[in-house]
Amino acid sequence: MAIPLSYNLRNLVVRRTTTMMTALGIALTVAVLLAVLALVNGLRVTLSSSGDPRHVIIMRKGATSELTSLVTRTQFQDLKFKAGIANGADGQPLASLELITIISLEAEGSGTGDNVTIRGLMPAGIAMRHNVKLIAGRWFQQGTNEAVVGKSLADRYPDARLGKKLRMGRSDWEIVGVMDAGRGAQESEIWGDVNQVAADWNRVLYMSSALVEATDAAARALVNSINDDTRLDAGAELEQDYFARQTQSATPIEYTGIFVAIIMAVGSSFAAMNTMYAAVARRAREIGTLRVLGFSKLSILASFWIESVLLAGLGGVLGCLLVLPLNGVTTEVGANFSQLAFGFQVTPASMVAGVIFAVALGSVGGLFPAASAARKEILTALREI
Amino acid sequence: MKFLPLILRNSWRNRRRTLLTIASIGVSMCLLGVMIAMYSAFWLSKPKDNQALRLVTRNRVSLAVFLPLAYQQQIEKVPGVRLTMIDSWFGGVYKDAREARNNFPRFSVEPEKLFPMFSEWTIPEDQKQAFLHERTACVIGRDLANTFNFHLGDRIPIRGDIFPGDFEFIVRGIFDAPSNSDIMFFNKEYIDQAMPERRRGQVDTFYVLIDDPQHSSRIADSIDAVFRNSTAQTKTESEQAFVVGFLSLLGNVRMFLVWISAAVMFTILLVSANTMAMSVRERVREVGVLKTLGFTQGTILGLILGEAVAISIAGGAVGYLISTVLLKGVQRSPMGGFLPSLRVVDPLIAAVCILLAASIGLVSSLVPALGASRATIVEALRTTD
């Protein structure tokens, strides 16, 4: 026969202080794990909402990021008239030749420079990015050194605010507008006219990449036809796939975080063991009484083990609560040699994972004390004070 | 001090609990030790002698913008400068860039200046000569050679992106370095000749060797002053600052370290507080007896605090020992390249760890110790656990 669960619950309540301290220790461990998962999740959400399913990005074969890719103007001329590319409102193909480079900007109060992405693009490139909206000022004019900055970038770097002048490649650029990209990666970019950016950086022949919009549902086919075109000699992939690949930049952070959480978990499971051993020692007479009443060794084992799992579960829930305020806090990581801003995302799935992690920790930590409780002889247990 | 044996005996009474507590504190402390060591290597440590003599000059806008070759002569004229070396980040693709280990750093340099510049690196003289006399030769670090099992005479094909073209380098030397050496150097002449006319003579960074570390910031300022009114302004900083600046690419590492350390410290605090609360609770009657025997409130307070501190110090020492093992791993990992001044065994950090553990123990036991020492004799003797 099993010992009722309420016995364990009441025990935990009676020893409130110890219960809370142990649970808090476990909670902190879970919180570290969840914070790291939230960071990685936030990055994934940002990157996945940056890509449009109809967009195809063209880079040099084998290039893994726009920053290390090269596309020539000649290649772009050939590419532009491929079948499957949608036409814009002006009847021209929706294709944009783009140049990506970086400048160093100083964040507010940091004193050190961060690398920020500069994107030179064509008018079609702006028209194509449906998630990007101008929220202040105006778009840059073709043929001038004017630039538009992402909102989160303008928030972080005082030098890149509306009306400021920014030193880029070899000349000064005026910030004439601010854009909002929802949660997209474009929030962390500065945009200007591709020809002006190229001139400023002294890059005449080689641009970085091209972005085209396919007619509905033809995106996949367009990718294949570009990849198979030996004369063009360029690599294409869906913009979404490209961004999904960029999440790799978070892998070191993810692994470090999980490693730290596991080490902390080892520490907390020792602490949980301590608490449970103390509980077993203090309740020796109770255990004896339970045995006299006819509860089997197994049900004693189960009962103490369940108590430890409950304790750890409580810690897991507390850990989730600790991490919740982090939801939505913006931070930035480096992706491809430049800064990318995004918000922490605490998802229900990761919270469930956190609680499971805590329960696993508690069940390992509770096993030995529970076994020692079950092994107690009735007479010696009753005699203990 | 004469109570030390009593304190030690008390803490050894419940061996299992003490050991579990030491283990729990130790495991958490080892994380803390690693983080303290990394933090101090990044932001607090003085660069080693050789490194302190090196400055890096780059374009103020960002690393993606080149400097003219002609700057070299002007930098060499600045008083205190002994040697300058062109060092350009080559980038490029080895086999498949999607596999992380293929993305080892590659630089094009002036071969005859490489080893004078990095005098802490060692290479056999004949290999060095071979590197100097063959245009397509390269030298690689021991770690890189081990990763790919490269041998002298092997050919390493690299496809250039920043410097377009297909290049093949012959391994003519393998050098040993005190820190991580997953790195490759080759002759900049070889690259320059493959570039079109207008791309020749473009320099990413100049490494500058100075005569006295005391003057490093003054020399850095005077180099930047030379180019203040040129089209390409420079930014010169110590090699250490330059390397740490790279780290900001990975995100806000500083914040990451501080937050995790805080969580770990708080966990240790909870674990230790819990243990002490448990052992004090068991011993209230004993405290009554001690008081009857004439022990003062202060002595009893000292006894309990001493016990907590002794246990935490043991935990701290265990933790520090484990952390040295982990640090060895960090040093060998790619991260080690960013941490030239990381030392695996550092008496100062050991002292910090143990002091930190001791103070955590002291704080954590304050509440139970005060409670026990303040209890009146009658109250204490009447308690039945």
Are the C-beta atoms of B78 and B226 separated by less than 8 Å? Answer: yes
Predicted confidence (pLDDT) per residue in B197-212, tens digit: 877 888 989 999 999 8
Predicted confidence (pLDDT) per residue in A13-41, tens digit: 888 888 888 898 899 889 988 988 888 88
DSSP letters along A140-209, please?
PPTTSSEEEEEHHHHHH-GGGSTT-EEE-SSSEEEEEEEEE-TTSGGGGEEEEEHHHHHHHTT-SSEE-E
CA distance B207 to B199: 20
Given an 8 Å threshold on Cβ–Cβ distance, is B65 in contact with A331?
Answer: no
Phi/psi at B107 (5° precision): -130, 145
Predicted confidence (pLDDT) per residue in A144-176, tens digit: 999 999 998 898 888 889 999 988 878 899 999
pLDDT over 60 at A99, yes or no: yes
Q: What's the pLDDT band for B249 if we cut at 50, 70, 90? A: low
| Neighbouring residues of B364: CB distance < 8 A, sequence distance ≥ 6 | B269, B270, B272, B273, B276, B308, B312
Are the C-beta atoms of A179 and A186 separated by less than 8 Å? Answer: yes
pLDDT over 60 at B100, yes or no: yes
Compute the CA torsion angle B54, B59, B63, B64 (nearest 10 deg).
-150
CA distance B294 to A36: 54
Show which of residues 233-252 on chain B sit within 8 Å of chain A, judged by CB atoms.
245, 248-252
At A317, is the secondary structure helix, strand, or coil? helix
A68 contacts in chain B (CB < 8 Å): 91, 93, 97, 161-162
DSSP run (H or E) holding B233: none
Neighbour count for residue B154 (Cβ, 10 Å):
15
Please tell me the predicted confidence (pLDDT) of residue B233: 85
A253 contacts in chain B (CB < 8 Å): 250-251, 256
Higher pLDDT, A113 or B202: B202
Which of B161, B248, B264 faces A69 most closely, judged by CB atoms?
B161
pLDDT over 90 at A195, yes or no: yes
Show which of residues 194-213 on chain B sit within 8 Å of chain A, judged by CB atoms.
198
Higher pLDDT, A335 or B224: B224
Compute the CA torsion angle B241, B247, B253, B257 (nearest 10 deg).
-70
Are the C-beta atoms of B31 and A260 separated by less than 8 Å? Answer: yes
CA distance B376 to B361: 25
- Computed over every residue of chain B, the mean pLDDT equals 87
Show which of residues 145-174 on chain A sit within 8 Å of chain B, judged by CB atoms.
167-170
Burial of A340 (0-12, 13-18, 19+ CB in 10 A): buried
Please tell me the predicted confidence (pLDDT) of residue A210: 94
**What token pair was written down for B273?**
């507080």
The structure tokens 């009484």 sit at: A289
Please tell me the predicted confidence (pLDDT) of residue B163: 85
Spell out the domain ranges in chain A.
5-47+249-383, 91-212
Q: What's the pLDDT band for B124 if we cut at 50, 70, 90? A: very high
Burial of A93 (0-12, 13-18, 19+ CB in 10 A): middle
Predicted confidence (pLDDT) per residue in A349-381, tens digit: 999 999 999 999 999 989 999 999 988 888 888
| Neighbouring residues of B282: CB distance < 8 A, sequence distance ≥ 6 | B14, B385
Show which of residues 339-368 on chain A sit within 8 Å of chain B, judged by CB atoms.
339
At B114, is the secondary structure helix, strand, or coil? helix
Please tell me the predicted confidence (pLDDT) of residue B190: 94
Give buried/exposed letters for A267-300 (b at 16+ CB in 10 A, else e): bbbbbbbbbbbbbbbbbbebbbebbeeebeeebb
Are the C-beta atoms of B277 and B329 separated by less than 8 Å? Answer: no
What DSSP character marks residue A90? T
Instruction: Look at residues B76, B85, B136, B137 and name the one whose alpha carbon lies nearest to residue B112.
Output: B85
- Write the single-letter amino acid at B314: A
Please tell me the predicted confidence (pLDDT) of residue B331: 78
Compute the CA torsion angle A132, A133, A135, A138 (nearest 10 deg).
100
User: Would an 8 Å CB–CB cutoff place A24 in contact with chain B?
Assistant: yes
Show which of residues 256-315 on chain A sit within 8 Å of chain B, judged by CB atoms.
260, 263-264, 266-268, 270-271, 273-275, 277-278, 282
Could you tell me if residue A199 is left (phi over 0), alpha (psi between -120 and 50 degrees) or otherwise beta? alpha
Please tell me the predicted confidence (pLDDT) of residue A110: 64
Could you tell me if residue B118 is left (phi over 0), alpha (psi between -120 and 50 degrees) or otherwise beta? beta
- Write the single-letter amino acid at A201: W
Dihedral of CA A231/A233/A234/A237: which sign? positive
Instruction: Look at residues A139, A204, A147 and name the one whose alpha carbon lies nearest to residue A175.
Output: A147
Compute the CA torsion angle B41, B46, B50, B55 (nearest 10 deg).
90
Phi/psi at A131 (5° precision): -80, -10
Range from A217-221, A238-242, A250-254 carrying the lowest mean pLDDT = A250-254
pLDDT over 70 at B250, yes or no: no
Are the C-beta atoms of B139 and B175 separated by less than 8 Å? Answer: yes
Spell out the domain ranges in chain B.
4-46+252-382, 61-232
Please tell me the predicted confidence (pLDDT) of residue B26: 92
Highest-confidence range of A92-101, A195-204, A322-331, B42-51, by mean pLDDT?
A92-101
pLDDT over 60 at B385, yes or no: no
CA distance A14 to A149: 58
**What token pair was written down for B385?**
């656990």
The stretch B237-248 carries a mean pLDDT of: 78
At how many degrees (to 10) do helices B253-282 and A251-282 cross? 0
DSSP run (H or E) holding B256: helix B253-282
CA distance B224 to B78: 10
The structure tokens 């649970």 sit at: A23
Predicted confidence (pLDDT) per residue in A117-151, tens digit: 899 999 999 999 998 999 999 999 999 999 999 99
Please tell me the predicted confidence (pLDDT) of residue A170: 80
Please tell me the predicted confidence (pLDDT) of residue B251: 61
CA distance A41 to A247: 9
Please tell me the predicted confidence (pLDDT) of residue B1: 63
Range from A107-116, B64-73, B251-260 carrying the lowest mean pLDDT = A107-116
Please tell me the predicted confidence (pLDDT) of residue B93: 87
Are the C-beta atoms of B201 and B218 separated by less than 8 Å? Answer: no
Please tell me the predicted confidence (pLDDT) of residue A385: 61
DSSP run (H or E) holding A307: helix A297-323
Q: What's the pLDDT band for B13 if we cut at 50, 70, 90? A: confident
CA distance A234 to A225: 11
DSSP run (H or E) holding A50: none
- Write the single-letter amino acid at A272: A
Q: What's the pLDDT band for A190 if we cut at 50, 70, 90? A: very high
The structure tokens 């370290």 sit at: B257
Count how many Cα atoms sit within 13 Å of the Cα of residue A137 in the half-sphere of its side chain: 21
User: Would an 8 Å CB–CB cutoff place B322 in contact with chain A?
Assistant: no
Predicted confidence (pLDDT) per residue in A60-81, tens digit: 887 778 887 889 899 999 999 8
B256 contacts in chain A (CB < 8 Å): 253
Q: What's the pLDDT band for A249 if we cut at 50, 70, 90? A: low
The distance of B258 to chain A (nearest Cα, Å) reads 12
The structure tokens 């050679």 sit at: B145
Q: What's the pLDDT band for B340 if we cut at 50, 70, 90? A: low
CA distance B380 to B287: 7
Given an 8 Å threshold on Cβ–Cβ distance, is A170 in contact with B232?
Answer: yes
> Do strands A146-150 and A165-167 pair parallel, antiparallel, or not at all (unpaired)?
unpaired
Instruction: Look at residues A47, A97, A78 and name the one whose alpha carbon lies nearest to residue A208.
Output: A97
Are the C-beta atoms of B144 and B177 separated by less than 8 Å? Answer: no
